[in-house]
Amino acid sequence: MYQLTISSETWQLSRPFEISGHTWHSVDCLVVTLSDGMVSGRAEAQGVYYLSETIPSMTQQIEHVRVKIESGITRLELQSILPPGGARNAIDCALWDLECKRQQKSIWQLTNINSGTVETVFTIGLEDTPEAMATKAKTAPTKILKVKLNDDRPVARLQAIIHARPDARLVVDANQAWDLHTLKTVVDAFQDTSLEMIEQPLPRGQDHVLADYHSAITLAGDESCLHSAELAHAKDCYQMVNIKLDKTGGLTEALQMAEKAKAMNLKLMVGNMCGTSLAMAPAFVIAQLCDFVDIDGPLLNLTDRPNALTYEQGQVSGLKPTLWG
């Protein structure tokens, strides 16, 4: 039997964070704790904003199955009573943390994954001008930059950032903002530069045209590939998929998705929906399996949790059991 506690938190960002179609000034978090009376496990989720998930909607989902959860649900049983999304992510990752505490084993022992330092991107959010984005890039604390773009002067914005940070490796995230013509324009302009990957260039549901397009730059599916069931479509259109725990509904499905994607010869990226180190901790586990790592959420915050992950010039390490796992 478990005791389930649900709470919400708001963490302020150090500055507004803008992507195509959305701006954040703070990050709302759903935090769940599961206790067996001796030890507790906890986890954090933000939900999938473009699927209209909110703290109240995720809380309602969990409350609807509270009795089943508190009866002592397993991670496997959880997969069938909650759909992929932030609510299941929070419960699933809390169950992983609880299992670590109960067995007095680390998450590395439970998953048989070797722990190591990973290098995260730092995200350059949209600004009004290319020059403003270049200024942000100059002070970015990492050697890999993830550049958020829309359909407003994407080539000029990238050119400005490359000029400001010729030392940096670049990936781009269009968040569904482009059409095929814009994608081809960007690929043609930057295929021989430091731009290594373009994430979600076309809208979900309109990216089937990518099956007939052979890009000189790696294309990654994010909004178009939420969980394992969508890998079959993704492999026809993309060379990489972005695994986010709020999309998959937790670490359990994320691990399965990573295994299946690799079997399809898809490259892997792990992403985040912003949040604190508690949200990044299980993503740090998946990061060990990935070609690109995007777990920079805490770097965008004014503050982070106690016993947080360690971020040093893009290098992420130091997952402590006092935080998670």
Give the E-state strand segments of 38-99 in sequence order.
Answer: 40-45
What is the sign of the dihedral through the CA atoms of 256, 260, 262 and 266?
Answer: negative
Residues written for the chain = 325
pLDDT at 302: 97
Q: Where in the chain is the domain with CATH 3.20.20.120?
A: 118-317
In this prediction, residue 246 carries a pLDDT of: 98
For residues 33 and 273, what is the distance between their CA atoms, to the nearest angstrom? 20
pLDDT of amino acid 144: 97
Q: Where in the chain is the domain with CATH 3.30.390.10?
A: 3-105
| DSSP assigned state of 301 | B
Q: Read off the pTM.
A: 0.96
Radius of gyration of the chain (CA): 19
Three-state SS string across 152-193, please? Answer: CCHHHHHHHHHHHCCCCEEEEECCCCCCHHHHHHHHHHHCCC
Statement: 118-317 belongs to CATH 3.20.20.120: yes
CB neighbours of 197 closer than 8 A, spacing ≥ 6?
A: 171, 172, 217, 218, 219, 220, 240, 269, 292
Residue-level pLDDT at 149: 97
User: How far, in Å, are 3, 184, 207, 224, 231 from residue 234 at the CA level?
Assistant: 39, 19, 9, 7, 5
**Phi, psi angle pair for 222, to nearest 5°:** -120, -80
Indicate the fold that domain 3-105 takes in CATH.
Answer: Enolase-like; domain 1 (3.30.390)
Look-up: residue for tokens 């701006």? 23
User: Left (φ > 0), alpha (ψ -120 to 50) or beta: where does 105 sit?
Assistant: beta
Could you give the CA distance from residue 303 to residue 314 in angstroms, rounded to a whole number?
A: 17
Q: Which parts of the chain register pLDDT below 50?
A: none
In this prediction, residue 156 carries a pLDDT of 97
Question: What pLDDT is recorded for position 65?
Answer: 98
Tens of pLDDT, residues 16-50: 998 988 899 999 999 999 999 999 999 999 999 99
Helices and strands counted in the chain (H then E): 13, 14
